[in-house]
């Protein structure tokens, strides 16, 4: 890929997403970089590979880690987990922008014992993290939606941010999917800090809140909801929308139909009620982490994710990276690839490497094996560059 007349060094930008269930984006980048560096000099020529590491996220889980790896400061805070248990969450802050993440506050991975609770899980912890972020006085908060355990329409989040939900007997309701149907009255206390802070929803989910393509129907099964609970959640969310409209939210019904309202079990809907701006998660994070400036100093871009497939081509993070990389060679690394070679050109990929080509074992839940394979792949990429 690099001719004999090329300079005696190659600069590689390693900009992957996470390998879900196995390695964080930072761990993927570290393993590939170790392999690339080990290739320097193996051809007998004194050439060096310089690695620029840029772990990425698209607004889902791993967004805080990606921001921290790019220079943001991590701030830790204890919040209510998806079923009320205290969990140690973290946000990222650079003095102006805070990144707050659903996955590390009320995500599926935080359910005690991994036991799914589609009616009982709450988004309250996410709201508590937003409240903590507001105490740092940011100019904006990036709301990274993805990996939620709940389908509560953001009721729990709103409870943490000054909203009160009561049943017909006047009892306080705690946000959860099961509580939605019991809302009789809604009262809100305005937070001055929210009025002075820009809210940005970073997500590439386009589902509405309700109906056949809504949050319960599409995402409920992965959260443990069968047909009866999906129907109950959809009815509960419909009741939630109606009660918000009755409480004076004139746009409640319209916002429920907006693309993205159904993201993160309907937390996207609550964010829209708060006036949040919606942006593409992949492109927003590439801008936030200064991808364009980073790639301008490099000769080759290496990206990847756990699985390359049709969803990748539809605009997931590796596709956004490829689109922005210009004429530089682009190499993709994945756990597996469902894209035939003839479709690589749709992302201008020069080469695709997969862990599945290097082992007969299932590496998707084995971090040590995944890292070892990525180091081997990194060395092979490095050898091909020299």
Residue pair 91/125 in contact by the 8 Å Cβ criterion: no
Q: Determine the CATH number of domain 63-282.
A: 3.90.1510.10
Question: The pTM is what?
Answer: 0.90
User: Phi-psi category of 276—alpha, beta or left, where left has phi over 0 and alpha has psi -120 to 50?
Assistant: beta
Say how far apart CA 175 and CA 276 lie, in whole Å: 20
Query: How much is the pLDDT for 275?
Result: 95
Say how far apart CA 218 and CA 96 lie, in whole Å: 35
- For 263, the token pair is 């993201």
Say how far apart CA 102 and CA 82 lie, in whole Å: 10
Q: Determine the CATH number of domain 9-56+290-385.
A: 3.40.50.10350
Same fold, 9-56+290-385 and 63-282: no
Query: How much is the pLDDT for 6?
Result: 47
Grouping H, G, I as helix, E, B as strand and the rest as coil, residue 377 is helix
Residue pair 19/32 in contact by the 8 Å Cβ criterion: no
Break the chain into its structural domains and give their ranges: 9-56+290-385, 63-282
Residue 374: phi and psi, rounded to 5, are -65, -35
Q: For the chain, 386 residues long, give each residue's pLDDT as a single digit of tens.
A: 544 454 478 999 999 999 988 899 999 999 999 999 998 766 555 678 999 999 999 888 899 999 998 899 999 999 999 999 999 999 999 999 999 999 999 999 999 999 999 999 999 999 999 999 999 999 999 999 989 999 999 999 999 999 999 999 999 999 999 999 999 999 988 788 888 899 999 988 899 999 999 999 999 999 999 999 999 999 999 999 999 999 999 999 999 999 999 999 999 999 999 999 999 899 999 999 999 999 999 999 999 999 999 888 887 899 999 999 989 999 999 999 999 999 999 999 999 999 999 999 999 889 999 999 999 999 999 999 87
Residues 6+ apart with CB under 8 A from 212: none
């Amino acid at each position: 890929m690099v001719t004999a007349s090329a300079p005696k060094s190659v600069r590689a930008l390693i900009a992957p997403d996470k390998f879900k269930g196995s390695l964080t984006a930072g761990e993927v980048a570290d393993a590939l970089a170790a392999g690339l560096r080990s290739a320097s000099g193996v051809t007998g020529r004194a050439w060096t590979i310089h690695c620029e590491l840029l772990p990425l996220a698209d607004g889902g889980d791993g967004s805080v880690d990606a921001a921290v790896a790019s220079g943001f400061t991590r701030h830790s805070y204890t919040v209510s987990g998806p079923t009320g248990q205290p969990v140690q969450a973290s946000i990222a802050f650079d003095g102006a922008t805070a990144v707050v993440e659903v996955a590390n506050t009320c995500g599926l991975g935080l359910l005690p014992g991994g036991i799914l609770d589609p009616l009982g899980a709450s988004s309250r912890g996410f709201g508590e993290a937003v409240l903590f972020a507001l105490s740092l006085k940011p100019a904006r908060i990036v709301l990274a939606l993805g990996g939620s355990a709940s389908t509560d329409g953001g009721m729990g989040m709103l409870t943490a941010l000054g909203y009160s939900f009561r049943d017909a007997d006047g009892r306080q309701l705690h946000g959860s999917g099961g509580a939605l149907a019991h809302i009789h009255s809604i009262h809100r206390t305005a937070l001055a800090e929210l009025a002075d802070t820009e809210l940005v929803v970073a997500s590439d989910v386009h589902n509405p809140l309700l109906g056949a393509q809504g949050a319960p129907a599409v995402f409920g099964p992965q959260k443990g909801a069968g047909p009866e609970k999906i129907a109950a959640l959809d009815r509960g969310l419909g009741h939630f929308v109606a009660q918000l409209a009755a409480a004076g939210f004139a746009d409640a019904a319209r916002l429920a139909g907006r693309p993205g309202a159904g993201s993160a079990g309907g937390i996207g809907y609550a964010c829209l009620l708060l006036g949040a701006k919606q942006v593409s998660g992949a492109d927003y994070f590439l801008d936030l982490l200064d991808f364009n400036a980073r790639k301008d100093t490099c000769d080759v871009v290496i990206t990847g994710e756990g699985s390359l497939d049709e969803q990748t081509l539809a605009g997931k993070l590796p596709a956004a990276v490829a689109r922005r990389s210009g004429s530089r060679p682009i190499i993709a690394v994945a756990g597996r690839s469902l894209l035939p070679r003839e479709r690589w050109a749709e992302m201008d990929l020069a080469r695709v490497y997969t862990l599945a080509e290097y082992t007969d074992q299932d590496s998707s839940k084995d971090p040590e094996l995944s890292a070892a394979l990525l180091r081997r792949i990194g060395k092979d990429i490095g050898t091909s560059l020299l």
